[in-house]
Amino acid sequence: MSIPDVSIEIPARVRALAGAAALSPVWLNGIGGLTFHTDDGRYIKWGPHDAEANMRDEAERMRWARQWIVVPEVLAQGQDADHEWLVTAALPGRSAVDARWRDDPRTAVRGVGEALRALHDALPVDECPWSWSPEWRIANAAERGVAVPGDLRTPPPVDRLVVCHGDACMPNTLLDDDGRPLAHVDLAALGTADRWADIAVASMSTTWNFGPGWEDALIEAYGVAPDRERLEYYRRLWNET
């Protein structure tokens, strides 16, 4: 993902959803989806239909998870033949990859590790209606025409079954100005899986945003020792699906 140019063309649907509010572009993703912030305290996500993670699923999961953790309140969700959209209430705090943390990656990385552990401890596995297991992810990939290497069909034994975020990359945790966890966003793939499915991706994403050397710091903040076998497996599964 990247920050779009302020002169980017605003889709008509987004303008309609914004009403009288002013819009500022926030994110542009790899399939052309856009996120805007409104000056009346909302975020509007808009983009083409995504077979991997759609906004209807995201809205449903946020409404469920909001019973136990801090996630955005869903204000509206809809779709037409070509696009989908999601409107949520803005939350305080900044993304863990905000410019605020450019010179202090250690604080941001620690905050994300702590936030991920808190999410895993708070969400009840027995009440979660969705899976994010390797079997589910490989089947989902097949539906999208993605061929997964055969050795990934045999995952390591589950260490601890939790409700995973499903996209625990650094930008999807909000922190306060001191680096303490505040909230989670982008929950379209939330579901039950081994906790290492999230830990592997979260720690790997530190290299994308802050460069090498921070993976184990995030795992330490989560509160476990690195499990190299599970890290390798779940990072490969992420990249292949």
pLDDT in tens, 91-105: 999 999 999 999 999
Q: For strand 161-164 and strand 94-95, is the pairing parallel, antiparallel, or unpaired?
A: unpaired
pLDDT bucket at 123, cuts 50 / 70 / 90: very high
3-state secondary structure of 158: coil
pLDDT bucket at 3, cuts 50 / 70 / 90: low
Name residue, tokens 């779009």: 4
Q: Among residues 194, 218, 216, which one has the least CA distance to residue 116?
A: 218
**Domains annotated on the chain, with CATH:** 12-89 (3.30.200.20), 94-240 (3.90.1200.10)
Q: Is 167 part of the annotated catalytic residue set?
A: yes
**Mean pLDDT estimate for the chain:** 95
Chain-centre distance for alpha carbon 175? 14
Q: Give the active site residue among 57, 167, 198, 227.
A: 167
pLDDT in tens, 154-191: 999 999 999 999 999 999 999 999 999 999 999 999 99
Could you give the CA distance from residue 188 to residue 57 in angstroms, rounded to a whole number? Answer: 5
Contacts of 55 (CB under 8 A, 6+ apart): 45, 47, 77, 79, 84, 85, 86, 188
pLDDT in tens, 183-239: 999 999 999 999 999 999 999 999 999 999 999 999 999 999 999 999 999 999 999
pLDDT at 28: 87
